[in-house]
Structure 1
Amino acid sequence: MVTFSVLKWSMERKWITASFCLALLLLGLINLISYQNATQLIHSAAQVKQTSDLLTALTSVSETLTDSEARRWRYFLLGDRTELDAYHQAMQNLTFQLEKLRQPLSDTPAQQQRLNLLETLIQQRQTLLEQSAALYEQPTLLSAENPWVAQTNQNQAQIRRIITELQNEEEQLLQSQVEQSQANSQVRMAIENLGTILAFVGLLGVYILLYRQMFKRQQSEQIQQKLAQEKELGELKLQFFSMVSHEFRTPLSVIVGSAQLLQENLKRLVEPSKLKNLLQIQASAKLMTQLLNDILTLARADAGKLQCKPELLEVQFLCLNLVEDIQLFSEQPRTIKFHKYGTRTYAYLDEKLIYSILSNLLSNAIKYSSPESSINFTVICEPNAVIFEIRDQGIGIPEDEQATIFEPFCRGRNVGSAPGSGLGMAVVKRCLDLHQGKLLLESQVGIGTTFTIRISQPDKVGFLP
């Protein structure tokens, strides 16, 4: 029992350690996922900002290109020199803006090609604008059929197309980044929530296991305290009953001895019928002695002081001595038929315990059966067990009371005025348990009772012939 308890506590400690480590692992994983999620959000935000800046820069390029063309045309139409200076300033800004676009788009080959093509087209448009001064000197050449006009329109359309493609590509990239960031965030948030729940469950499990362990420890301490109190109480009871038994045994022995001396001295002078009181004194004193012995035996058993110390005994000699003692102490002589079967005669038994068992059973058989009936006492010596059987033709034990007769102070309802304390069968049960024996009870009211006791013997020793 102790080993099982230790193993159980060890398993609970292992579960607590494993749950706590798992909870720490989950918390570490949650922190790692949260860190990665935050890093991903920062990276996604940087990408979104970069894409947004690219879109803003492309819009600025388109606006700057339109503004530079407008200023050059105003210079041609109005002849304002400030417009020409503003045109050159706008072209420088345009070149600077294109250079700013080159670095963010360096990791995208398709966008890089579009940017190179855009720079080429802008340079081509700048060349076409410079050629437009000669056409303004001859306004008749500014017709839709003029190749320069057609080339200028084509160049403008290509520039717008390239800028539009760049913007669309960046917008798609921006949308893809946002969607991917949202998906990653949802997945990581789900994992983080699941990890948090699992960590909470793990910590809750650790708490429950610790609480159970603490509760069981408190219960164990309470049980140990209760056992200690019961042990102390049992020892006190044993000391008390030992003292009472010792104090009463001596005067009872004196009473029995004195009554026997009086009986011997007076039986030649007084009629036997007048010695009845002396016999009652002896019987009562012997009953009191037996009662003290039974109480002391139960007290020693409850205190754990009653031990079984088997010795090699001659079974037939033990049983014949017991029959002789029972007949000697009985008020009226009774017929006890003793039978022995088996080829072996020795067995390992505790003489005091087996004597107490058999004497109580024989005493009850005599007490609860008529004086005219006989009692059968049988011993069977098997190679690996010794069997004692005591059969009477007495009042029997009611079937509903057969399970409770081994409890202290329990007597059958049909015992009538027969004397007894109700301790004999309890003593039988305690002594037989110490022998690790088995008891079989067969009884019918008005027919009789049979007690069969089986006590196992060592396989290698058994009985000696």
Structure 2
Amino acid sequence: MNRELIRILLVEDNLGDAELFQDILDMIPESQTWNVTHVMRLTEALVELERDPVQVILLDLSLPDSQGLQTLVTLREQAPTLPIVVLTALNDEQLAITAVREGAQDYLVKGLVSGGTIARSMFYAIERKKNEIAMQSCLEQERQLREIKSRFISMLSHELRNPLTTILASADLMENLAEELSDQKKREMNRKIKESAGRMNKILNDLVALWHQESLELTSFNPCWFDLPPFCQKLVAEFQIQLDHQCSQRANSIDLIFVSQVKTYPVYLDLNLIEQILTNLISNAIKYSPKGGPVKFELTADFKQVIFQIQDSGIGIPASERDRLFTSFYRASNTKGISGTGLGLSIVKNAVEVQGGTIQVNSEMEKGSTFTVTLPYEVF
């Protein structure tokens, strides 16, 4: 048998029984593996549990400050992960059954059990509790998985249905009213189809990225040399074209500003991952600024690292929710009415960390958020 030290908390108000229990342990072969802490009251037991870790609790139900099953219930609430073996003079079968239902791993009656029985009971109790905790962990993981699947299906249905409805409605109008529609109206319908198809394509790309991130496969990392400032300028120009097309649809305009502290800066990074990072952060800055205002993208660099900073004037992020911001499918409580999958920031964080970088966020409600990504200029 394994001779790891087993720390026992003995909660027993009878000094004679406590000494007898210690004598019993001394007589069995495994005695050198025991370390017994003896207390006489429930309150003392609660204090001891906060002070020193134990592996098993041996509990008498009749104590000066607590009687019966309430003693067990109180102790179990204080130490839900510890196995408790009841060792009592009360030879009551119904009480024993109830005690086990209330969380005791075993119920032993003084005078009716040997030292070997007590030792085996404690060992078995420890192992049963480990299995119980493992089972509870599996059940909790299964519950979380079901919840994620439910949220995923709901999100996917909602986020794909809206652009698909737009595509079908626009295509139907162009087919059935082709002769009545002006050229300008046809161009508008065509633009809606393209934008909706692009939105669906982004969702699918995010799902593919999430699959690689959550599966056993490592995120593909293919670094190459490229000049960072021109790449950023090109990306901002593409966003500006989209904003120009959407200006008639938005109640408030977005002023997209790109500032680079360097004119040229070769980096050895993954071009696709950099595009994922910047595309998600800039599109979020625009999306979560429903009242319009400036969205500033600043690029700085030195001899060892590059820094991207994307700042908006949008709705901000509740302080209590920032720790969960990079969790897949998580969306802040103040984003209702704004479309989104809750995948973008999770993908960004993964793309940053794969390249050895960090991401930080500062935010103030109704005043905006600033995301700062720091990456080494060269990654191998």
Structure-2-length-normalised TM-score: 0.51
Q: Do residues 332 (structure 1) and 246 (structure 2) align?
A: yes
User: Is this contact kept in 1: 2:304–2:376, CA < 8 A?
Assistant: yes
Task: Select which of 331, 339, 355 maps to 2:275.
Answer: 355
Q: Do residues 318 (structure 1) and 238 (structure 2) align?
A: no
Deviation at 1:310, TM superposition (A): 4.9
Q: Do residues 280 (structure 1) and 280 (structure 2) align?
A: no
Instruction: Calculate the aligned-residue CA RMSD, in Å.
Output: 4.8
User: Is this contact kept in 2: 1:311–1:348, CA < 8 A?
Assistant: yes
Task: Select which of 335, 340, 345 maps to 2:265.
Answer: 345
Deviation at 1:407, TM superposition (A): 2.3
Task: Select which of 260, 272, 290 maps to 2:202.
Answer: 290
- The one-letter code sitting in structure 1 at the alignment partner of 2:246 is Q
- The one-letter code sitting in structure 2 at the alignment partner of 1:293 is N
SS in 2 for 1:383: coil
Which residue of structure 2 aligns with residue 384 of structure 1?
Answer: 304
Distance 1:348 1:316 in 2: 13
Task: Select which of 202, 206, 211 maps to 2:32.
Answer: 202
SS in 1 for 2:371: strand
User: Is this contact kept in 2: 1:310–1:348, CA < 8 A?
Assistant: no
Deviation at 1:382, TM superposition (A): 1.9
Which residue of structure 2 aligns with residue 393 of structure 1?
Answer: 313
- The one-letter code sitting in structure 2 at the alignment partner of 1:294 is D
User: Is this contact kept in 2: 1:337–1:376, CA < 8 A?
Assistant: yes
Distance 2:229 2:280 in 1: 18
Aligned runs of 1:39-78 on 2, under 5 Å? none
Task: Select which of 356, 361, 373 maps to 1:436.
Answer: 356
Task: Select which of 399, 402, 426 maps to 2:346.
Answer: 426
- Change in Cα spacing, 1:197 to 1:396, as seen in structure 2 (3 Å) is same
Deviation at 1:207, TM superposition (A): 9.0
Q: What runs of 5+ residues in structure 1 fail to find an aligned partner?
A: 1-11, 19-192
Deviation at 1:204, TM superposition (A): 6.5
User: Is this contact kept in 1: 2:224–2:271, CA < 8 A?
Assistant: no
Distance 1:335 1:307 in 2: 34
SS in 1 for 2:210: helix
Deviation at 1:324, TM superposition (A): 2.9
Distance 1:305 1:432 in 2: 17
User: Is this contact kept in 1: 2:291–2:314, CA < 8 A?
Assistant: no
- CA offsets 1:14-49 (integer angstroms, 9 cap, x no match): x67x9xxxxxxxxxxxxxxxxxxxxxxxxxxxxxxx
User: Is this contact kept in 1: 2:288–2:314, CA < 8 A?
Assistant: yes
SS in 2 for 1:327: helix
- CA offsets 1:406-431 (integer angstroms, 9 cap, x no match): 22333233335332222222222232
- Change in Cα spacing, 1:346 to 1:200, as seen in structure 2 (3 Å) is same
Aligned runs of 1:111-190 on 2, under 5 Å? none
Q: Which runs of 4+ in 1 moved over 6 A?
A: 203-208, 210-219
- The one-letter code sitting in structure 1 at the alignment partner of 2:285 is A
Distance 2:331 2:192 in 1: 23
SS in 1 for 2:323: coil
- Change in Cα spacing, 1:273 to 1:412, as seen in structure 2 (3 Å) is farther
- Change in Cα spacing, 1:344 to 1:217, as seen in structure 2 (3 Å) is farther
Judge which range, 448-457 or 426-435, deviates more.
Answer: 426-435
Deviation at 1:387, TM superposition (A): 0.7
> Aligned pairs, how many?
249
SS in 2 for 1:440: strand
Which residue of structure 1 aligns with residue 330 of structure 2?
Answer: 410
Distance 1:446 1:346 in 2: 37
- Change in Cα spacing, 1:304 to 1:433, as seen in structure 2 (3 Å) is farther
Larger Rg: 1
- CA offsets 1:226-282 (integer angstroms, 9 cap, x no match): 9xx9xxx9xxx9xxx9xx9xxx9xxx9xx89x98xx9xxx9xx93535643322222
Which residue of structure 2 aligns with residue 32 of structure 1?
Answer: none
Structure ranking higher in strand proportion: 2
- Change in Cα spacing, 1:346 to 1:203, as seen in structure 2 (3 Å) is same
SS in 1 for 2:299: strand
Which residue of structure 1 aligns with residue 182 of structure 2?
Answer: 270
Which residue of structure 2 aligns with residue 142 of structure 1?
Answer: none
- Change in Cα spacing, 1:385 to 1:211, as seen in structure 2 (3 Å) is farther
Distance 2:33 2:342 in 1: 57
Structure ranking higher in helix proportion: 1
SS in 1 for 2:246: coil
Distance 1:213 1:347 in 2: 56
Structure-1-length-normalised TM-score: 0.42
Distance 1:345 1:319 in 2: 11
